[in-house]
Structure 1
Amino acid sequence: MNILHIVPSYKPAYIYGGPIESVARLCEGLVAAGNTVHVYTTTANGKTELEVPVGQPVDVEGVQVTYFKRITKDPTHISPALWKALNQNVSQYDVVHIHSWWNILVMVAAKICLSKKAKVIIAPRGMLSRYIFNSGSSKVKKLIHNLFGRNLLAKTQFHATAQAEYIECAELIPGWKGFVLPNIIALPDIPIKHQQNDAFTLIFLSRIHPKKGLEILIEAISKVSFEVRLKIAGNGDEEYIAQLKQLAVQIRVDYKIEWLGWMNREQKFVELMNADLFTLISLNENFANVVIESLHVGTAVLISEDVALSAFIKEKDMGWVCGLQTDDVVSKLTDAQAQLAKRNHIRTTGRDVIEENFSEQKLIKSYLEHYKEVADL
Structure 2
Amino acid sequence: MAVVYLLAESLVRNGHDVTVYTTTANGKEELDVKTGEEVLVDGVKVYYFKRYTKGNSHLSPGFWNKIFQTVNDFDVVHLHSWWSPAIVAAAAVCRMRGVKPILSPHGMFCDYILTTNNKVKKQILQTVVGKSLLKNTFLHVSTPMEWEESQLILKEKWEGAVISNLVELDNVKPPVKRDANSVFTVGFISRIDPKKGLDILIKALAKVSFNYKLQVAGTGEDDYVNKLKSLAVECGNADKIEWVGWKDNVQKMQFYSEIDLFALTSHNENFAVVVIESLSVGTPVFLGKNVGLSSYVADKELGWITNINDINQVTADLELAYHEADKRKFIHESAPDIISHDFNKNFLTKQYTDYYKTLMPS
- 1:78 and 2:62 aligned: no
Q: Which residue of 1 aligns with 2:120?
A: 139
**Pairing 1:269-284 to 2, within 5 Å after superposition:** 269-284=253-268
2:168 to 182, 186, 189: 186
Q: Percent identity over the alignment?
A: 41
* RMSD of aligned alpha carbons: 1.3
Superposed displacement of residue 65, structure 1: 1.2
Q: Secondary structure at the match of 2:20?
A: strand
- 1:348 and 2:333 aligned: yes
2:27 to 36, 46, 53: 46
Q: Which residue of 2 aligns with 1:358?
A: 343
- 1:307 and 2:288 aligned: no
Superposed displacement of residue 328, structure 1: 1.2
Q: Which residue of 1 aligns with 2:97?
A: 116
Is the Cα contact below 8 Å between 2:174 and 2:336 reproduced in 1? no
- 1:36 and 2:17 aligned: yes
Return the alpha-carbon distance in structure 1 between the equivalents of residues 198 and 26 of structure 2: 25
1:278-322 Cα shifts (integer Å, max 9, x gaps) = 000011110001101100010000001111111111111000000
Is the Cα contact below 8 Å between 1:94 and 1:119 reproduced in 2? no
Is the Cα contact below 8 Å between 1:201 and 1:229 reproduced in 2? yes
Return the alpha-carbon distance in structure 1 between the equivalents of residues 238 and 106 of structure 2: 34
Return the alpha-carbon distance in structure 1 between the equivalents of residues 152 and 19 of structure 2: 32
Return the alpha-carbon distance in structure 2 between the equivalents of residues 52 and 202 of structure 1: 40
Return the alpha-carbon distance in structure 1 between the equivalents of residues 10 and 52 of structure 2: 31
Q: Which residue of 2 aligns with 1:318?
A: 302
Structure 2 residue runs without a partner (length 5+): none
Is the Cα contact below 8 Å between 1:291 and 1:301 reproduced in 2? yes
Is the Cα contact below 8 Å between 1:288 and 1:307 reproduced in 2? yes
Which stretch of structure 1 is more off in the superposition, 157-166 or 79-88? 79-88
Is the Cα contact below 8 Å between 1:314 and 1:320 reproduced in 2? yes
1:181-234 Cα shifts (integer Å, max 9, x gaps) = 010011123132423212111111111111111111011111111111111111
Is the Cα contact below 8 Å between 1:100 and 1:125 reproduced in 2? yes
1:292 to 276, 285, 294: 276
Amino acid in the other structure paired with 2:321: A
Superposed displacement of residue 86, structure 1: 1.4
Is the Cα contact below 8 Å between 2:143 and 2:292 reproduced in 1? yes
Q: Secondary structure at the match of 2:48?
A: strand
1:72-117 Cα shifts (integer Å, max 9, x gaps) = 2211122112112111121111111111000111000111112111
Amino acid in the other structure paired with 1:75: N
Is the Cα contact below 8 Å between 1:170 and 1:177 reproduced in 2? no
TM-score, normalized by length of structure 2?
A: 0.96
Superposed displacement of residue 142, structure 1: 1.5
Amino acid in the other structure paired with 1:363: L
1:27-60 Cα shifts (integer Å, max 9, x gaps) = 1111011110011111211111122222222111
- 1:69 and 2:50 aligned: yes
Superposed displacement of residue 277, structure 1: 0.4
Q: Which residue of 2 aligns with 1:256?
A: 240
Q: Secondary structure at the match of 1:36?
A: coil
1:372 to 339, 357, 360: 357
Amino acid in the other structure paired with 2:325: L
TM-score, normalized by length of structure 1?
A: 0.92
Q: Which residue of 1 aligns with 2:132?
A: 151
Return the alpha-carbon distance in structure 1 between the equivalents of residues 289 and 131 of structure 2: 28
Is the Cα contact below 8 Å between 1:119 and 1:374 reproduced in 2? no
Q: Which residue of 2 aligns with 1:207?
A: 191
Is the Cα contact below 8 Å between 1:273 and 1:299 reproduced in 2? yes
Q: Which residue of 2 aligns with 1:12?
A: none
Q: Secondary structure at the match of 1:279?
A: strand
Is the Cα contact below 8 Å between 2:172 and 2:281 reproduced in 1? no
2:159 to 163, 166, 177: 177
Superposed displacement of residue 139, structure 1: 2.1
Structure 1's consecutive aligned runs of 4 or more residues displaced over 4 angstroms after TM superposition are none
Q: Which residue of 1 aligns with 2:182?
A: 198
Amino acid in the other structure paired with 1:317: E
Q: Secondary structure at the match of 1:186?
A: coil
Q: Secondary structure at the match of 1:179?
A: strand
Is the Cα contact below 8 Å between 1:204 and 1:232 reproduced in 2? yes
Return the alpha-carbon distance in structure 1 between the equivalents of residues 357 and 252 of structure 2: 36
Q: Secondary structure at the match of 1:84?
A: helix
Q: Which residue of 2 aligns with 1:331?
A: 316
